[in-house]
Amino acid sequence: MAVASGKSFISRFGVHLAVLFFVVLWTIPTLGILVSSLRDKDQIIASGWWNSFSSSSQTEAGRLPDASAQSEKDGKFVIEGNLFEEGGPARQISAFGLRAAAPTQYEAGAVADLKDGVTLQINKDGSFVMASPKAFEGERGQRVYFAASAPPKFTTDNYRTVLFSEGIGRSFLNSLTVTIPATVIPILIAAFAAYALAWMRFPGRALLIAVIIGLLVVPLQMSLIPLLKLYNGVGVFFGVPVKTYLGIWLAHTGFGLPFAIYLLRSYIAGLPREIMESARIDGASDFEIFVKIVLPLSFPVLASFAIFQFLWVWNDLLVAMVFLGTEADQIVLTAKLNALLGSRGGDWEILTTSAFVTIIVPLIVFFSLQRYFVRGLLAGSVKGG
């Protein structure tokens, strides 16, 4: 007994450890995307998100005022000022330089020799003094480089830019327009088909089940082009547009039906036979049995497929690019992000914010349906003897 108890404890501990590992593995990059989406653009470039709560140091370039800003003091011509804007965040300079190849050649507060008696001193607070025994000339000021540290800065400007300036908000609505019907339609069709294949007897039933199982292994990429040609041919024949939401709803329905029917049939076929027979004895039709008995008992598997289908359609890019146009009123969120990645590959604040926007809806759907899934599983999944 002691040995069995020890093995049981080890098994439970191993399961908990594995779950903890996968939770951490999923949470860390998600947290990184969230933190990066709230950071200032310059700080994202300067340091990783794990350093976001501490001061960050980055190298910047600036230009001192031109000769018109000079004044004469103690027999020397002086140009004074501050590299930082008044009213900006508190920042400190650690080092400065006069060449891009050596931006931290001098420590803050040191006096740099610019030749011919010209000197430059830049202090930690950004104030500078450039002095020369002769009057300064020229319309352009001295170019300087400096390493400055800045306190952590978090902002919601990235979300404002993404949702209103980059067109992501419209693409977000387009994705909902595609995903919700493309999730509901396969469930409705598959539920009826699964009940018929599980509890109704008709010629060719076994062959139809075999065909559905065979369709599970057909790659989407292999069937995409033939399906597109067929769909375009039908559109041309009837004289209707082909790049429409109806087309992508039908495409996602077709791609999702084999798995949906297989999953639902396997569950519905395992429901207690006594319930079905009792309902038939009481005079219930197949439709009444399906609506009043099968659907309530099948809620767990319906919720499971809804999660799978919603996540798959929401994250889809290939089918959306084939069956939808790239206009603003049709382009989905994944396609918009793909376009941003191509045209704005260096704007990490835009990309991380956009990526987190795409995560929000799947998380809401998953956790909402998971709660109902557990409740339905405990309440209605009783198997017959």
Strand partners, 77: 72, 132
Per-residue confidence (pLDDT) for residue 179, from 0 to 100: 93
* Residue 130, burial from CB neighbour count under 10 angstroms (0-12, 13-18, 19+): buried
Statement: residue 1 has pLDDT above 60: no
Statement: residue 101 has pLDDT above 80: yes
User: How far is the C-alpha of 368 from the C-alpha of 385, rounded, in Å?
Assistant: 32
How much is the average pLDDT of 268-292? Answer: 86
**342-351 pLDDT, tens per residue?**
655 567 788 8
Statement: residue 85 has pLDDT above 70: yes
Provide the pLDDT confidence category of residue 9 given band limits of 50, 70 and 90: low
User: How far is the C-alpha of 92 from the C-alpha of 283, rounded, in Å?
Assistant: 84
Per-residue confidence (pLDDT) for residue 184, from 0 to 100: 93
Per-residue confidence (pLDDT) for residue 89, from 0 to 100: 65
* Residue 240, burial from CB neighbour count under 10 angstroms (0-12, 13-18, 19+): exposed
Q: Of 60-64, 306-310, 344-348, give the lowest mean pLDDT range.
A: 344-348
Q: At 130, phi and psi to the nearest 5?
A: -115, 120
Q: Which residue has the higher pLDDT, 344 or 278?
A: 278
Torsion of CA 50, 53, 58, 63, to 10 degrees: 150
Statement: residue 381 has pLDDT above 60: no
Q: Name 326's Cβ contacts closer than 8 Å, sequence gap at least 6.
A: 335
Q: Which residue has the higher pLDDT, 376 or 210?
A: 210
SS3 129: strand
How much is the average pLDDT of 265-285? Answer: 86
Residue type for position 171: S
**174-213 pLDDT, tens per residue?**
999 999 999 999 999 999 999 999 888 888 888 988 888 8
Nearest one of 141, 121, 139, 138 to 130, comparing CA atoms: 121
How much is the average pLDDT of 307-318? Answer: 89
**120-156 pLDDT, tens per residue?**
999 988 899 999 988 888 788 888 998 887 778 788 8
SS3 137: coil
How much is the average pLDDT of 37-57? Answer: 76
User: How far is the C-alpha of 40 from the C-alpha of 60, rounded, in Å?
Assistant: 15
How much is the average pLDDT of 264-274? Answer: 86
- Inter-residue contact 355 to 242 (CB < 8 Å): no
CA 127 to chain centre: 43
Per-residue confidence (pLDDT) for residue 385, from 0 to 100: 36
- What is the reported pTM? 0.69
How much is the average pLDDT of 25-44? Answer: 83
Q: Name 345's Cβ contacts closer than 8 Å, sequence gap at least 6.
A: 351
| Number of alpha carbons in the 13 Å side-chain half-sphere of residue 240 | 9
Statement: residue 379 has pLDDT above 50: no
Statement: residue 39 has pLDDT above 60: yes
SS3 144: strand
Q: pLDDT above 70 covers what percent of the chain? A: 90
Q: At what angle do helices 205-215 and 168-199 cross, to 10 degrees?
A: 150
Per-residue confidence (pLDDT) for residue 191, from 0 to 100: 92
**How big is the chain, counted in residues?**
385
Q: Which residue has the higher pLDDT, 257 or 304?
A: 257
What does pLDDT average to over the chain? Answer: 82
Per-residue confidence (pLDDT) for residue 31, from 0 to 100: 86
Statement: residue 81 has pLDDT above 50: yes
Nearest one of 152, 119, 121 to 133, comparing CA atoms: 119
- Inter-residue contact 275 to 205 (CB < 8 Å): no
